[in-house]
Chain A
Amino acid sequence: MADRRISLDRAGYGLLSRTLAECGRDEATGELRVSGRPGGAFHLRGGLVVAVESPGAPGPEALLLRSGRISGEQWDGLLDEPGAGRWPEAGLIAHGYAGAAQLRVMRMQALQDAVFAVVAGHVEGVRPLTEPSGSGPLAPVAVGESPLRLLQEATRKLTALAALPCPVLPDRERPLPAPGAAPDDPRLPSARRDVLTHANGRRTARDLAFITGRGVYPVTVEIARMLAEGLLRCADPPPTVLPVPVHIPATGALVPLRREEPVRLGELVRIGEPSVPPHPVPQKAQDPQGPQGPQGPQDSPNSRTSQSPQEPTGRPDPVRAPGPPKRAARQGKPDAPPVQSPPPPGQPPRQLPRRRPGASGITESLADAHREASWKGFFRLRHRIWTPDSGT
């Protein structure tokens, strides 16, 4: 717990403030790239900062889209309008999605938030001032801000954060909901419910700020307070056993492993599974569905090239070949379990074709008509990825 304290990266901050002060004195115009974690880019005009972009803080676009203030379709529609550019401010106002003053405030908040993210992180170096790369900053503020005032504001925020009972850094802690803290508790304000919904032990305050479409400083403060109030907890110490499921028991040769049952993510390390030596006995044990195995896990390591089109490229028919007696027996029973939903007779069952070698499209059968099953899987996956995010 000793390293939970927050301290300013003094060397990096000194470098940054010296360079920015110099730019301010020279009334410089250009882009100042800060390397480090998260790092960022300061855009200056006449010695004043007009925009700051950092991977550590959501920019104006992310704030608009992720907060649900404007939908992705609406945003795309605005970008399609003539003269919209990358930041369709006129369109946003004309369609009534946001007010002009609101957008001005938001741009300034995003700027200050990005400075806070840079200062709260680790500054490794500051590259000399360059001409703005690409098309310049996305959404510059109309009247720039003095760089030193911005830095002072950021350090003030960091000091305030450090003074909280449970200080949190935007990119360090990965909180979990505490036992008993329900994300749908109506007594909690919506910002807290959002944090509880999305905190899963993998996401930092910065990640949660992106997901909820709020500034990284307010989210960090909120998390620090929720930790202090016992609504969140930090896995401490961080787990030494990594919750990364490793699925292949292969040796150096990346032999494709047949696996019929879906593997749950929660399982930790599937090392217990026997290796796949180049003889069929343990393979039979792994794969009771297709013991004949016309498919070739016994292939050479670079099975991608050796998988010629005459091999069963994801078509279930040859694999299913040993199946019919068993299936017929099961269908004979009137009360067959509906979970498996046996296909109509005469049609081969489609069982996870996307998991078969060759369903990847790397073999020579991309245009195969039986491929649409993989596309189904694609839409299902997209749906799963997007639902929690687009709901916020």
Chain B
Amino acid sequence: MGEIIKLTAALVVISMVIGLAVAVTNNKTKDRIKEQQLHIQQSAVEAVFPSGVAISEHEGDGGLPYKYWSASDNGELIGYAFKITGQGYAGDILFMISADTAGKILGMTVLEHNETPGLGSRVTEVASNKYIWYPVGSSEKVKPWFTEQFEGLSCFKPIGIDKSGEWHKFDAQRRAQLQSRNTVTAITGSTITTAAFTKSIERKAAVYVASLKEKYLEK
């Protein structure tokens, strides 16, 4: 009996001290963590719209995304942005997408994914020509090629998947050809990941864009 009390007491004391330590750290860092998450979200919104536009945040209900952003240039509506998820190869892929009222995709950026490193994780790969022996500081600002190829495609039409090669290796003529067929190139060896994007755009983004358009036409 005495031993059980002793064991319990030891566990209780340790858990209390540890609980306190974690609680204090949580209290000290929670504002900063929230700030960081907002910052990540904000830079994603800015990344999917053209630079220099006025962006405002909205909360939606009904058939609208629960949170979305609209951008306007000199009072003229350019398009909307919202987050959607797709069923990837390893769990959900969360990404931000923006489209104009006609359903033309303006920009896309991946927020979260758990795809296989070296295969599906290449959705965020930047087609960089930088080699390791280049001097540090020669930075270049390039978008990930996979999401960039969606720009200009229509989310109201089915998006095709081309497996003949990867977009970042194609010239302008080949890219225009793919664009006219509303088609993207698959990441080699990761067709499921690629289809996660095209399917969720067809199913979710198209519906959101259509209902947002309706809402703005009512006004």
A, B in one complex: no
- A residues sitting closer than 8 Å to B (CB atoms) are none
Footprint of A on B, CB under 8 Å? none
